[in-house]
């Protein structure tokens, strides 16, 4: 397949766009009956390459023509009228022409019907001499011209504007021409079943994206064309004998540029010729990137290391490159070493704009991360991407959302600054409020670690934000402030507050370190250790949530704050209120927190 960027590309590099195009209805003549047969086509410039006219076998309108012949307008050539179930009777007139290389369906039918090919378009995207008067024109100009000529000769019945699912090049977004070219191919059809089995056995994070791979494997119908006519890519290391054409491949271990380097051979192994011509083509970029697991595990470089490191643990990547990077990696590594390269794949969604639309240069909605990272810091950016969407789903980017993520980092910073005023204590006799928050911390820690285990960073991000901000800062810290300062509490009670504050912060820092690596490490080194937090393990937590008091605590605190707000008095103002029975055990802390008088 041949787009505007003038190289062969593989099916995996083709995407489909809904493009507006003109469907033209053209008069062909049935030779035997002299009747008109109206063919509908979006590619009238390819009439010269038409080798058959097809109708659906059950289409009553055309049954009587099957087996007869159609005369092509302008060129006057005869082609058979055939019945084929691939024709959609509802599309256009229900009669289609099959041209060599019109689209991949044409190619398939050409092979199936064993038709003789006629090449109408060359590598420059221009019409060949087979197009007669249109030879040398671009396909677009030829289309305009032939429609004019058909109209002039009364051969054009009508024109319709339709939306056509058009195959375009993923890179340059231009429609694709199918042109016969000699290319290098990597065999993939014989290995489809093995790779599919691997795809079924692998773990997918999230499971829903497994289908992307399986669907792609099922859709593969030809081998993988791997040679490209691009300049910036890996050179194909092949030289050809100038006299007999025999291909020669150099020994492993060195990088070659055959188009400008002297061949590393004395003479042709076949005819003894001494002159060679270097290959000028390059490899498909996925041909290189698909061996990344072999590269990182030092394949052919360090056998001991390779044995230990291969297969690697996981492939992290975006969902848009499942059919390329993920699939080709499975294929290439399997072919090279006979063992699949990883047991799990981590597939993220797209980063879309704030309206949920895919970012693209042409739409002008791409957000450049550099100035954002400069402004809010890498931690804010990373934390935002973790908390924005559950694994595998598309996530929206806007400066507002990233700024919002940075507010949590400020909160974390302020929490740490407050706690840093108190000494770190090893042990304490806990009070009920301490037991409550440590129980909540234990629950949070469990969920967060499970989130990390399933590589779903959304869980740690949202759970930690909820815990640290909404419970720990808003309620617990407010509850124990007086106790931590020692106002109206015993030394032992004060120590319990210090212990709990530091424990919650210390455990939280570790739980947040993978998704907020810089700030957590800074606080960690300032308060708890000389070494990096990233060398620490998650803490084993001994506390359990004995009873769920959270709802009652939140409800009571909100009630008190609400009353004071209504009265227009400061939060420190005295209040008379009954503490609910189930919160009696927290009485001392609650009284200090709200300044409750009996
Ligand atoms: Zn292109
Ligand atoms: Zn030779």
Distances (CA, A) of 138 to 169, 180, 348: 18, 18, 41
Q: Supply the pLDDT for residue 253.
A: 86
* CB-based contact 323:290 (threshold 8 Å): no
Query: Do 99 and 106 touch, CB atoms closer than 8 A?
Result: yes
When pLDDT is averaged across residues 295-305 and rounded to a whole number, the result is 96
Query: What pLDDT does 187 receive?
Result: 96
Which ligand is closest in space to the CA of residue 272? 2
State in Å: Cα 184 to ligand 2 middle: 20
Q: Is the pLDDT of residue 2 over 80?
A: no
For the beta carbon of residue 217, count every other beta carbon within 10 angstroms: 22
Ligand nearest to the CA of 271: 2
Q: What is the pLDDT of residue 288?
A: 92
Distance 274 CA to ligand 2 centre (A): 8
Tell me how far the alpha carbon of residue 4 lies from the centroid of ligand 1, in angstroms. Answer: 5
How does pLDDT run across 489-527, given as a tens digit for each residue?
999 999 999 999 999 999 999 999 999 999 999 999 999
Distance 238 CA to ligand 2 centre (A): 14
CA of 239 to the centre of ligand 2 (A): 11
d(CA 333, CA 325): 12
pLDDT of residue 527: 97
Verify cis geometry, omega within 30 degrees of 0, for the bond prior to 326: no
Cis peptide before 94 (omega within 30 of 0): no
- Average pLDDT of 214-219? 94
Q: How far is the CA of 259 from the centre of ligand 2 (A)?
A: 18
* Residue-wise DSSP of 286-305: HHHHTTHHHHHTTTTT-HHH
Lowest mean pLDDT among 15-29, 360-374, 559-573: 360-374
Closest ligand by atom to 245 CA: 2
Tell me the pLDDT band of 392, cut-offs 50, 70 and 90.
confident
Tell me the pLDDT of the chain averaged across its residues.
93
Query: Closest by alpha carbon to 201, among 210, 190, 212?
Result: 210
Burial bucket for residue 84 (CB in 10 Å: 0-12, 13-18, 19+)? middle
> Ligand 1 centroid to 396 CA: how many Å?
28
Q: Which ligand is nearest to the CA of 277?
A: 2
pLDDT surpassing 70 at residue 89: yes
Rounded to the nearest angstrom, the distance between the alpha carbon of 166 and the centre of ligand 1 is 14
Task: Note the ligand closest to the C-alpha atom of 175.
Answer: 1
In our burial notation (b when 16+ CB lie closer than 10 A, e otherwise), range 86-97 reads ebebeebbbbbb
Q: Are 315 and 344 in contact (CB under 8 A)?
A: yes
Q: Which ligand places an atom closest to the C-alpha of 172? A: 1
Amino acid 250: pLDDT? 95
Q: At residue 307, does pLDDT exceed 90?
A: yes
What is the pLDDT at residue 361? 76
H/E stretch holding 428 reads none
Give me the pLDDT at residue 42, please. 92
Asked if residue 344 lies in contact with residue 204, where contact means CB atoms within 8 angstroms, the answer is: yes
- Which of the ligands is closest to the CA of residue 246? 2
51 compared with 542, residue with greater pLDDT: 51
Q: Characterize the bridge pairing of strands 224-225 and 14-30.
A: unpaired
pLDDT recorded at residue 452? 96
pLDDT band at 1 (very low <50, low <70, confident <90, very high): low
Query: Which listed ligand is nearest to 171 at the C-alpha?
Result: 1
Domain ranges in the chain are 18-163, 189-227+297-348, 350-546, 555-598
Select from 3.40.50.720, 1.10.150.120, 3.30.1330.10, 1.10.730.10 the CATH code of 350-546: 1.10.730.10
Fold observed for domain 18-163: Isoleucyl-tRNA Synthetase; domain 2 (3.90.740)
Give residue 101's region: left, alpha or beta (phi > 0; psi -120 to 50): left
Using the mean position of ligand 2's atoms as its centre, give its distance from the Cα of residue 225 in Å: 26
Residue 69 has pLDDT above 80, yes or no: yes
Question: How far apart are the CA of 275 and the centre of ligand 2, in A?
Answer: 8
d(CA 485, CA 498): 9
Note the ligand closest to the C-alpha atom of 169.
Answer: 1
Of the listed ligands, the closest to the CA of 274 is: 2
Distance CA 12, CA 167 (A): 11
208-217, 251-260, 418-427, 541-550 — which is least confidently predicted? 541-550
CA 260 to ligand 2 center in whole angstroms? 20
Q: What is the DSSP string of 185-224?
A: EE--GGGHHHHHHHHHHSEEESGGGHHHHHHHHHH--S-E
CA of 75 to the centre of ligand 2 (A): 44
CB atoms within 5 A of ion ligand 2 belong to 241, 244, 246, 268, 270-271, 273
220 Cα: distance to centroid of ligand 1 (angstroms)? 21
Beta bridge mates, 24: 41, 159
> Which ligand is closest to the CA of 244, given by its number?
2
């Amino acid at each position: 397949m041949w787009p505007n960027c003038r190289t062969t590309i593989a099916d995996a590099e083709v995407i489909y766009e809904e493009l507006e195009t003109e469907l033209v209805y053209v008069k062909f003549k049935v030779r035997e009956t002299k009747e008109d047969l109206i063919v509908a086509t979006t590619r009238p410039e390819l009439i010269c390459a038409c080798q058959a006219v097809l109708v659906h076998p059950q289409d009553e309108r055309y049954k009587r023509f099957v087996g007869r012949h159609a005369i092509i307008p302008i060129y006057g050539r005869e082609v058979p009228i055939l019945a084929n179930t691939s024709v959609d009777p509802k599309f256009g007139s229900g009669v289609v022409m099959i041209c060599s290389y019109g689209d991949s369906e044409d190619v398939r039918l050409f092979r199936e019907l064993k038709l003789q090919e006629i090449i109408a378009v060359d590598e420059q995207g221009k019409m060949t001499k087979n197009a007669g008067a249109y030879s040398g024109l671009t396909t677009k100009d030829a289309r305009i011209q032939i429609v004019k000529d058909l109209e002039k000769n009364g051969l054009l019945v009508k024109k319709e504007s339709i939306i056509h699912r058009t195959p375009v090049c993923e890179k340059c977004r231009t429609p694709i021409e199918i042109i016969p070219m000699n290319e290098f191919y990597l065999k993939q059809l014989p290995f489809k079943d093995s790779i599919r089995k691997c795809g079924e056995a692998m773990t997918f994070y999230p499971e829903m994206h497994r289908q992307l791979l399986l669907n792609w494997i099922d859709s593969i119908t030809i081998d993988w064309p791997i040679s490209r006519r691009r300049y910036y890519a890996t050179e194909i290391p092949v030289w050809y004998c100038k006299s007999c054409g025999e291909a020669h491949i150099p020994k492993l271990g060195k990088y070659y540029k055959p188009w400008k380097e002297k061949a590393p051979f004395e003479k042709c192994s076949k005819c003894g010729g001494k002159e060679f011509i270097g290959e000028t083509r390059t490899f498909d970029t996925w041909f290189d990137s698909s061996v990344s697991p072999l590269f990182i595990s030092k394949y052919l470089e360090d056998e001991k290391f390779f044995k230990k490191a291969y297969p690697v643990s996981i492939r992290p990547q975006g969902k848009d490159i499942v059919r390329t990077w993920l699939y080709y990696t499975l294929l290439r590594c399997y072919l090279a070493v006979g063992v699949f390269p990883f047991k799990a794949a981590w597939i993220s969604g797209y980063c879309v704009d704030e309206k949920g639309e895919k970012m693209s240069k042409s739409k002008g909605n791409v957000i450049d991360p550099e100035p954002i990272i400069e402004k809010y810091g890498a931690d804010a950016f990373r934390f935002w991407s973790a908390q924005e969407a559950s694994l595998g789903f598309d996530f929206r980017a806007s400066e507002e959302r990233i700024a919002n993520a940075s507010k949590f980092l400020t909160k974390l910073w302020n929490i740490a600054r407050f706690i840093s005023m108190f000494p770190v204590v090893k042990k304490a006799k806990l009070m009920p409020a301490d037991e409550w928050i440590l129980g909540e911390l234990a629950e949070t820690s469990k969920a967060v670690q499970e989130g990390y285990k399933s590589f779903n960073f959304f869980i740690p991000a949202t759970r930690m934000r909820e815990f640290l901000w909404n419970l720990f800062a808003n309620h617990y810290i407010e509850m124990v402030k007086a106790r931590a300062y020692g106002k109206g509490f015993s030394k032992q009670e004060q120590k319990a507050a210090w212990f709990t504050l530091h424990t919650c912060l210390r455990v939280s820092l570790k739980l947040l370190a993978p998704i907020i690596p810089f700030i957590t490490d800074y606080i960690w080194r300032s308060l708890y250790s000389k070494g990096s937090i990233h060398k620490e393990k998650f803490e084993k937590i001994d506390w359990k949530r004995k009873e769920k008091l959270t709802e009652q605590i939140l409800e009571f605190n909100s009630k008190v704050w609400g009353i004071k707000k209504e009265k227009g008095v400061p939060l420190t103002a005295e209040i008379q209120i009954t503490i609910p029975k189930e919160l009696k055990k927290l009485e001392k802390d609650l009284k200090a927190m709200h300044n409750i008088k009996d």
